[in-house]
Structure formats: structure tokens, C-alpha cells
Structure 1
Amino acid sequence: MLEPFEHQSVTTDFIATNPRVLVTSDPGTGKTRSVLDAYMQRPEGRMLVLAPLSILQASWGDDIEKFTPDLTYTVAYARNRAKAFESDAQIIITNHDAVKWLVKNQHVLNGFNTLCIDEFTAFKNKDSQRSKAALKIAKLFDYRIAMSGTPNSNTICDIWHPTLIVDDGHRLGHRFYSFRSNVCTPVFNGFANEWKDKPDAELMVAAAIKDINIRYELEECIDMPEQSYHTVTTQLSPTMLKAYKDLADDNVLWTGEATINAVHAGALTKKLLQLCTGAVYDEDGTVVGLHEDRYNLVMELVEQRNHSLVAFNWSHERDFLVAQAEKRGIKYGVIDGSTPANKRKDIVDRMQAGQLKVVFAHPQSAGHGLTMTTATTVIWASPTYNAEHYQQFNRRIYRAGQTKRTEVIHIAAEDTWEPGVYEKLQGKLGRMENLLTILKDLNSMKEVA
């Protein structure tokens, strides 16, 4: 069995000696193993793991078998949840939404004393049923661990509720609106107030949570090959560009097949980005096909490389990409919300074995926990506004085990909003990196002390 890296051992010791822990180390630093090794040091009590559905077995189950084979575990899906909790397994691994079931069946948590939340941003919305349920069951656990390498991908407020779940409000307060007033400033946008992070918001939060937080950057733990980012532009045809501008100006587009309406600014943005990708959806959810040019470009990039991971945001993109791969005789896999867990694992294993040239994946379905380091290229067939999905998806190839240089390619249509979306992503990530850098520096100071 491989010995843990030094940063993993330090993280293990921190978890084992602190009943409340936030682990904000980068994706790919091996946080799962540190949690398992720390749990091994506890003399009694069972552990509940809440994680994204896509990595229950692929990350947690596999890591238990690899690093702590003496521990027993079971994966609780919706179909076998009650039976799984009736088992004698030391670790129960289930998905985030299971917390709603657990609130109604709290008796199944008798004997548990450790809660680990993997990707705690799933509980950042204080008003969601899932977040409220997680807060209720968390109080039943003596030891609470929450992990995420992207803790504030949109705003500093993202971290408030996950921290509340871990420490019962001791560090960032019990009242969200008081917290928001301290770290954000209201800015009127012409319709309502938007809350913008204050310049020193990251410093204020980092100082408050430093005693329960541990963080390592991937590059300081492992000698990583270089990763580059660049944009490949494409042009809309004159007909498509006119359709794009008509929709932008009038909020209505006649495609020759259907009328597309965008009823507000958010819907307009979504429709315009969909149009850039080759299709839009009408009011009935029907795809109105317009062009396929960018998918020829994506597949040309795939053919020029050994192994790639391609991100798509809409089902019509997936369908175009699959059709192109089959036409060109390219071996591929697809991971999205409809991919069963066993099929997902098979696709990842086949990519790692070099049997697939490309995996087409939705960022939300393949953005956490999965390792595909045989691939050296991520291609974004279209941009996402979600900075967490963007960062996590890119880290599927840029993580421990990667030995080659990697690249991230953005596909963007000229004279459209697409280049600006990638720029806004970098702005969001910049604010997140501010917090993470401060947390890392504070962690280094603790080690010196």
C-alpha cells in the first residue's frame, strides 16, 4: 500500500484531533484518504459520508478498498437505503439528498458519531430543503468534517451555511443576514439590490474559521506538470449571427420552424448561449436545430490529441458530439445525469486504461471525485457560468497521478457573449482564490507555530 503524502498525514492528524473541521484543500490532493485514516484512529462509532451521487462508489468506495481495506462500508442508494443503514458496516456512504430521508428516519443514525460532507457547497443555499435537513441531522454527530476545494465559487456567502452545519454558528454567526451585512455591500442594479463581496470579505472569513480549517494547494503537495489555458474561436455564419443579434435585440427569434421567446434577462442569456452551441429549446422543450459547425471543430481537436475530456452543457451538444464520434470511428464514453453508477465507473476505468479516446461529460455529473489522468486535454464545447463546475471539471485531469502537461481549451464564438462568460469565470475564481490563499497562509502560520 502506498504511504500517504506528508500533507495527507498532516491533514489526518488535524481531523483526528479536532471535532469540527473544514478541509478546503485543492481537488486532487487526496482529501478522502485523510478522512479515512483519521476515522481509523477513532476507537468507536460509525461514520456517515454524504457525497455527490457520481462518486459514492467511484471515489469513496474505491478509496476504502485501496487505502483502508480493514474498514467495512456500504453504499446507500435510494433503492437500498433502509437496508444499507440496517447493516453493520462501519461506514455508510450516501448522496447529499438522502438527508431529507434521514430527518424522517433519525433512528437509523444510532451508533454514528462522525459525519463527513464531501463537496459541502451542495448545502450552501440556506433555504433549500436539503440544507435545512443537513443542519438538523448534523447536530446528532460529535465529529463533523466538511470538504470542498471550491468553497466560495460565486460569493463569500456560499461558505456561511456549510460552516453553520459544522460548528453550529460559533464562527460566522447564527444569522445569515447579519453575516451578509458584514461581508457584502448592497448595489442597486436598476431592479433590486445585489450583494457584492467587500474587498476584505475573504480576510474576515478566513480569520474567523482558521482554527477549524486546513488547506493545501495541489502544486505545493505534488510536483505537477504545467497546465495551460487557451481559447479557440469560431465564427457564426452570417445567418446565425443575424439570428443571434435579432434575439439579443428583440428577445424573440423565428427560426423558420418555431418562435423562441426569452421572457427575462436570465432566460435571454441562456437562449443566446444555446444558440451559439447550435440549437435552442422552444417553450415545449423541443430542440430546434440550427447548425453543427462547432462540433466539427471540437472533434478535430479531439482527433489531434491522444485522450480528451469534453464538457457539454445541453443534451443537443451531447447528441451532436456522439454523432460526430460515431461518424469518425472514435471510441468514446458519455457521462451525464442518466449514466448509472456502474456504467460511470466502467467509463472512467476504460479511459484510465487508454481504451477511450474521449469522454463527453456534463460538468455537474463528472465534476467531482473522478480521476481521468490518462486524458491530458479538457475541451469546453460551450461555457458554463458555474465557477465551481468549471474548476472541478478541469481538475479531473489535473490531479495526483498526472505525469504529462495538460491543457484546457475554451470554444467561443466571436462577437457573442461566450468570450465574456469565460472572463467572468476567471473573475469569480479570482475571488475564490483570494480566500483560499489567505486560508493557506494561515495554515502555514499554524504549522510554524
Structure 2
Amino acid sequence: MDGLLSRGDLHGYQQYSAEFIVEHPIAALFLDCGLGKTVITLTALEELMFDRFEIRKSLVICPLRVCGVWKNEVEKWKHIQELRLSVVIGSEKERITALSRKANVYVINRENVEWLVAHGQWDFDMVVLDELSSFKSHRAKRFKALKKVRPMVKRIVGLTGTPAPNGLIDLWAEIGILDMGQRLGRFIGGYRERFFVPDKRSREMVYSYKPREGAEEAIYGLISDICISMKAVDYLEMPECIYNQVEVIMSEKEMKVYRQMEKDMLLPYEDGDIDAVNAAGLSNKLMQMANGAVYDENGAVKHIHDRKLEAIEDLVEAANGKPVLVAYWYQHDLARIRERIGAVELDSAEDFQKWNAGEIPVAVIHPASAGHGLNLQAGGSTLIWFGLTWSLELYQQTNARLWRQGQKETVVIHHLIAKNTLDERVMAALEKKDCGQSALVDAVRARIGGMADGHGRTV
């Protein structure tokens, strides 16, 4: 047991959070990356199982890449050594074997929730949703499957750093899967009617909703008894983070091609047209073109410009030998970036190790691969967004790979924005969503005696 951390090594806010889970059969913790939500939850599980005897068997549902993190965390801490974890991943045969193992905590990836429920051996009295925002869609199969067995669960915990990535409309499903509709209502239609009005629409089709006057405060009030939030900057010594927008300007000829696509939804070529069948398809094509290349109808890549590649070269040169991480979205972005600056793609545990060891000067990573549980802060402090994403969750999670506890340098996050293109709208949307989510997080912020509340006051 030598070298293991003990319960006394937990931060005060971690002790507080674990106790919150213990005292609340339904709990939602909105915790920033790096605050240690895994050990917090395992500490609560240990107390509920072995001190209070309230639960016998629990299930953790999390992203696939994070399944192993839960098991690894147990090995670090002395006070949770009694917990026996079984990771339920792999082929169906491997999953069935893992379920049959004697354990206290079973960890499964979210894609297999439907399979687990259908498997017919549901006997978990506590469920932990590691990434509550994975259940923001009431139409998703995983949501419907978990909803069926939710009445059989005595205790449930939702963990996330992004409680409302697309606005407050997401909260109905997330809170509903926790409390079975007690706070925000049992039906999405009733929730929308009560708190929202149509925003963007086309005749009878409503694409988005905006909160009615006073709705935000009302929603916060309804959920505040089961939710607490914490921001890393309030509880950890976080490095400074600088956000920078680097404007790139396409030539008149290049902009003409972009505008034609925007107007006609079609660019004719002899060997394969570039076309978009609907608004979503057009958005996708325009974002590709802003990056400098686009797929045609045959899957071939059509080159548009090199403005962002030139900007990356300048930024890498300006880094003066310091490692740089580049976030890309499309495969043709990856190919062009690698060809231009010789970047190495981070895709395996070995790649991540090399990056953190300082052996990779320029790396590229996809936001979907840079999700939960990945620590890259040892390898560098500069991130360049080559192409943006509409997803606030993926955006924040990727940034948090470098901007987290243990980072020794000031973190600089560059965004390459093609002027007068969809890039500007995506950037504005991310900033707006972030502001909206911050209001929610502030509304349910944990108040811990003797600790600063983030505004210089002691509470």
C-alpha cells in the first residue's frame, strides 16, 4: 500500500462533493475538468457500500476511452482499495464474462447501455453517469434504455463539465433521467411550452427554442436542490489561459468560389460536383471550404486555398521550438496539415506518452479523440484550432487537455478564422453557448464554508 494517496489527501472541495453524493440519492455534479470527479465518486461509493451499507452493486456508464480510468483511479487511493471494479467492454462474450465477475462496481461504455438493459440481468442499485450530457437527447437509444430500468435504481449521480452544451433545452433529458421528471416535468413538450418560445423556424418547423423571460431563474430554482457546480479556477491553481483569434483572408477569387457554393449549394466540376442537399450539408461544405479543401460527390478532395496552412506555419515558427498541438476536424485537414508541417497524429496511448515526454514538436488531434480523461498538459501549452466545431462540449474538452492542473506554462489557444465565412458564426456560437452555460453553473455553484466563491469573497 506504500505510496498510495489517502482520504486525507483529498481537497476540501472533493470531500464536500463526495459528501453531497452520499447525502443526495439523486445528484448532479457540474465539475470542471481536472477537479477529480472519478475519485470523488469512488469515495462516495466506498462510504455508501462499506460504511452505510446502502448500496450493494453499482454501474458506471462513461465514454469508452474513460472506462479504464475508473479502474486505474482505485489503484492510486488507499481508502477505496476495498472496491472491486469490473470493466464491461469488448466483444459480447467478453462483456458477459465481465458482468459475471464478482465486483462492487461495473464500468460500461455508453454505447452498450441498450445491450446491457436488453441482456436482462439488471440488478444495479446505484448508477453513475460519467458525462451526463451523453444523455441530453430523449430520442437516443441509450436514454430510452436507461429510462426503462431507472425506477429500479435507488441512487443515481450525473457528472459533467458541460451541463447545457446546446442551451437549457438539454436539461430536460439530463435532469429527467436522474429524477424521472419530478423537477422539469415528465414530457419534453410540457417543458418547452412552460419555459421556451420558438426561436429559429421555417413555417411549421421549429429548429430551436429560446427561454421565456424569467425561465432561466425558474429552471435553476427547480434543479438547485440536486445540483452543485465547481469551476477549476476557483479551487485549483490554474495557469493563465489566453484565447486568440487569428484572422485569415481568402483572395477575391477564392471568396467567389465560397460565395457561389453558399448561394447555389452547388459547385460544378467535370470529375465530380460539390453539392449540398440541405442546410446541414451546406454548413458542412462551407466549413470545409473555410479550412481550404472540400469533398466532392465522389469523396475526392477539391483544393480551395492554403490560407490556414500558411497561418499554422507562422504560428509554429512563432512558438520558437515550443511544442504545438493542432485540432483538426476533417480527414483532408489532417492530410494537408501533416504534409505541410510534418505533424504527428495523436491517436494511441504510445502517441500520448511521446507527446507528454516532449518528443513530438507538432502534433494533431481530433476533438472526438481528445475527450474525457486525457492528460496532455505535460507535452505543451499551445493549441491551434485549424477548423472549428459547433460542439461546445468537444471544444471545451479539447481545450482542457492542455489547460488543467499541472500545466506549468501559460496556455495559448489560437483559433484560425477565415474572414467573412461560417467560421465567424461558429466562433460566436461557441462564445454565446459558453456564456449561457456559465450562468447555469454560477446559479448552482457550491458554497463551501471558508472557501472563496470565485469573486474574491469568502463564503
C-alpha deviation, 1:256, in angstroms: 5.5
Which residue in the other structure is 2:325 paired with? 309
Q: TM-score, normalised by structure 1?
A: 0.90
CA contact (8 A) 1:118 1:148 kept: yes
| Counterpart Cα distance in 2 of 1:273 and 1:443 | 44
CA contact (8 A) 1:28 1:398 kept: no
| Counterpart Cα distance in 2 of 1:66 and 1:321 | 38
151-160 or 346-355: which moved more?
Answer: 346-355
User: What amino acid maps onto 1:365 in structure 2?
Assistant: S
Please show how residues 42-441 of structure 1 align to structure 2 within 5 Å: 42-43=49-50, 44-57=55-68, 59-67=69-77, 68-79=80-91, 80-107=94-121, 109-110=122-123, 112-187=124-199, 189-191=201-203, 192-193=205-206, 194-255=208-269, 257-305=271-319, 306-326=322-342, 332-335=344-347, 343=348, 345-374=349-378, 375-440=380-445
3-state SS of paired residue (1:268): helix
| Counterpart Cα distance in 2 of 1:113 and 1:303 | 55
User: 2:16 aligned to 10, 14, 39, which one?
Assistant: 10
CA contact (8 A) 2:228 2:446 kept: no
CA contact (8 A) 2:19 2:44 kept: yes
Distance verdict in 2 for CA 1:146–1:398, change over 3 Å: same
CA contact (8 A) 1:49 1:92 kept: yes
C-alpha deviation, 1:62, in angstroms: 2.5
3-state SS of paired residue (2:445): helix
| Counterpart Cα distance in 1 of 2:139 and 2:318 | 46
Which protein, 1 or 2, shows the higher relative CO under an 8 Å CA cutoff with sep ≥ 6? 1
CA contact (8 A) 1:24 1:214 kept: yes
Distance verdict in 2 for CA 1:444–1:22, change over 3 Å: farther
CA contact (8 A) 1:21 1:145 kept: yes
User: What amino acid maps onto 2:376 in structure 1?
Assistant: M
User: What amino acid maps onto 1:400 in structure 2?
Assistant: Q
Which residue in the other structure is 1:340 paired with? none
CA contact (8 A) 1:280 1:287 kept: yes
| Counterpart Cα distance in 2 of 1:221 and 1:255 | 56
3-state SS of paired residue (1:94): strand
Q: Which runs of 4+ in 1 moved over 4 A?
A: 441-445
Instruction: Give the percent of matched residue pairs that are identical in Structure 1 and Structure 2.
Output: 29
C-alpha deviation, 1:295, in angstroms: 2.6
User: 2:42 aligned to 28, 36, 40, which one?
Assistant: 36
| Counterpart Cα distance in 2 of 1:404 and 1:136 | 48
RMSD: 2.4
Residues 336-360 of structure 1 deviation map (CA, whole Å, 9 limit, x = unaligned): xxxxxxx2x3333332222333432
Residues 398-443 of structure 1 deviation map (CA, whole Å, 9 limit, x = unaligned): 2222232111110011222212210121011111111111111678
Which residue in the other structure is 1:338 paired with? none
Residues 220-268 of structure 1 deviation map (CA, whole Å, 9 limit, x = unaligned): 1112121111111112233322210111122111356421112222221
Distance verdict in 2 for CA 1:376–1:200, change over 3 Å: farther
3-state SS of paired residue (1:78): coil
Distance verdict in 2 for CA 1:298–1:16, change over 3 Å: same
3-state SS of paired residue (1:408): strand
User: What amino acid maps onto 2:360 in structure 1?
Assistant: L
CA contact (8 A) 2:86 2:98 kept: yes
| Counterpart Cα distance in 1 of 2:34 and 2:270 | 48
User: What amino acid maps onto 1:290 in structure 2?
Assistant: I
3-state SS of paired residue (2:76): helix
Distance verdict in 2 for CA 1:93–1:303, change over 3 Å: farther
User: What amino acid maps onto 1:417 in structure 2?
Assistant: L
CA contact (8 A) 1:100 1:133 kept: yes
| Counterpart Cα distance in 2 of 1:73 and 1:203 | 40
C-alpha deviation, 1:283, in angstroms: 2.7
C-alpha deviation, 1:444, in angstroms: 8.0
269-278 or 247-256: which moved more?
Answer: 247-256
C-alpha deviation, 1:34, in angstroms: 0.3
CA contact (8 A) 2:61 2:128 kept: yes
| Counterpart Cα distance in 2 of 1:295 and 1:89 | 51
Residues 181-230 of structure 1 deviation map (CA, whole Å, 9 limit, x = unaligned): 12211236343333212343332222111111121111111121211111
| Counterpart Cα distance in 2 of 1:6 and 1:441 | 12
Distance verdict in 2 for CA 1:53–1:356, change over 3 Å: same
C-alpha deviation, 1:138, in angstroms: 2.9
User: 1:23 aligned to 26, 29, 34, which one?
Assistant: 29
Stretches of structure 2 lacking an aligned partner (at least 5 in a row): none
CA contact (8 A) 1:54 1:366 kept: no
Stretches of structure 1 lacking an aligned partner (at least 5 in a row): 336-342
| Counterpart Cα distance in 2 of 1:427 and 1:78 | 39
Distance verdict in 2 for CA 1:441–1:402, change over 3 Å: same
